[in-house]
Every structure is written in structure tokens, then in C-alpha cells.
């Protein structure tokens, strides 16, 4: 049985998503992963509040660059790391896409 991590995300416009992310079988700490996701999203929100000229594409580009740097810092085999990054993204994005949007009471 695979483990999942439930994350609730609310956009600035009040749209919300409850996402159940499947965790990789070798995940050591679901709680640690959840805390990092929350911290990264909070950091992004704070950073974007101060930079009004940043587009959604700019945000995705910055996140992709950050992921690439972090993956490179592992010092592991580049082919294995590339496969892992792609698999993790594909799984996470499929879960995010499957989550229906709904109106949140807090905007």
C-alpha cells in the first residue's frame, strides 16, 4: 500500500485544492516532506508579494532552476537523478491535476 501526503492549497483568489500526493517508496519522513512543501509555498508567497512584475512562467522557471541546482548538488549519477526528478514531478503533477478546485471560505 502506497503512502500519500495530503496538502491543501488556497490561491490568492480563493480557489482551493486538496491534493493527495503519492509518496515515493523510499520517503524517509512524510512529515518532513509536508513541512518543506508548506515552507516553500509560504516562501514563494512572501517573495511574490514583493515582486509584482513576476509572471507565473517566471515562477515556474525559477522553481525548475532551483530543482536543477538541488538535483546537481546531490552528486549522484546524472542519469539516475534525471529519471528520479522526472518521475517525482510526473507523479506529483498528476496528483495536483486530479484535485478538483473549489471555492474556499478564506481568500
Residue 55: predicted pLDDT: 92
pLDDT along the chain (107 residues), means of 10: 91 92 97 96 90 90 96 94 97 97 78
Give the pTM.
0.86
Q: Give the C-alpha separation, 93 to 107, whole Å.
A: 24
Report yes or no: 64 and 85 within 8 Å, Cβ to Cβ: no
Q: Where are the domains of the chain?
A: 4-103
Residue 107: predicted pLDDT: 47
Residue 70: predicted pLDDT: 96
Amino acid at each position: 500500500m502506497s503512502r500519500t501526503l495530503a496538502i491543501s492549497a488556497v490561491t490568492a483568489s480563493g480557489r482551493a485544492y486538496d491534493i493527495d500526493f503519492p509518496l515515493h517508496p523510499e520517503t524517509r519522513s512524510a512529515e518532513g516532506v509536508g513541512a518543506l512543501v508548506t515552507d516553500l509555498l509560504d516562501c514563494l508567497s512572501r517573495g511574490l508579494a514583493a515582486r509584482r512584475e513576476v509572471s507565473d512562467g517566471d515562477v515556474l522557471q525559477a522553481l525548475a532552476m532551483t530543482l536543477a541546482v538541488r538535483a546537481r548538488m546531490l552528486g549522484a549519477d546524472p542519469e539516475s537523478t534525471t529519471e528520479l526528478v522526472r518521475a517525482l514531478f510526473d507523479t506529483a503533477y498528476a496528483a495536483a491535476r486530479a484535485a478538483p478546485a473549489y471555492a474556499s471560505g478564506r481568500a
